[in-house]
Amino acid sequence: MATAPGPAGGGMRKEGPPPRRRLRHHNEKAGPLLRTGLFPVGDKGPDWNTKYRLQALRSLLGVLPDPTAPLPKRKQQPKPGRAKRLKDDQVAKLCQAYEAGTSRRQLANDFGVAPKTVSAILKRQGVKTRWRKLAESDVDEAERLYAQGMSLARVGERLGVTDCAVRYQLNKRGVRMRDSHGRD
């Protein structure tokens, strides 16, 4: 192995990569630094900037509320699981709005109740709902019409239900659906 001239002062060192210097922790060069808890204790640390920290602390204290002031009152929120009861006049308005064509979901939003609650109120009041279940004879008819080439939407129109209701019932029976885009 070849040797190369060493540093000024003489001597020879082996050729190759330069010698590795021992890396020190960034706090080593600053002198002694002790850690107690979460906060460093010592002098001349590189992270010490007392002026900046003092400014930050003062600005934080300016934003925080006075510790001697009473806590602000929290709003009373309804207890979970407690059903909201509509008054008689609200129930009458709800029924009128439903009969005028407003959806259950919209009524639920307007009156602050769940859609299930709207359905229950309508049922209690004897209001005829716009949706209905398909009877077995209706499902038979839907299957026959669909097999003849009628679309789900047309079958639903004829039976007075949505196309989704027709699709659901036909899928339940195991009827194979046609591709709506003509790819078969």
The domain tally of the chain equals 2
User: Is position 101 within any domain?
Assistant: yes
User: Is position 167 within any domain?
Assistant: yes
User: Is position 57 within any domain?
Assistant: no
User: Is position 107 within any domain?
Assistant: yes
Beta bridge partners of 4: 13
Backbone angles phi, psi at 178, to 5 degrees: -75, 155
User: Is position 97 within any domain?
Assistant: yes
Determine contact, residues 109/115, Cβ cutoff 8 Å: no
User: Is position 111 within any domain?
Assistant: yes
Shortest CA distance to 41 belongs to which of 56, 29, 52, 30? 30
Q: Indicate if 140 and 167 belong to the same structural domain.
A: yes
What is the chain's pLDDT, residue by residue, as a tens digit (184 residues)? Answer: 555 555 555 556 566 666 665 555 544 444 444 444 445 555 555 556 677 788 888 888 888 888 788 888 888 877 776 667 888 999 999 999 998 888 888 898 999 888 889 989 999 999 888 766 788 888 999 999 999 999 998 998 888 778 888 999 999 999 998 887 755 4
Which structural domain, as residue segments, surrounds residue 111?
A: 88-125
Backbone angles phi, psi at 117, to 5 degrees: -65, -40
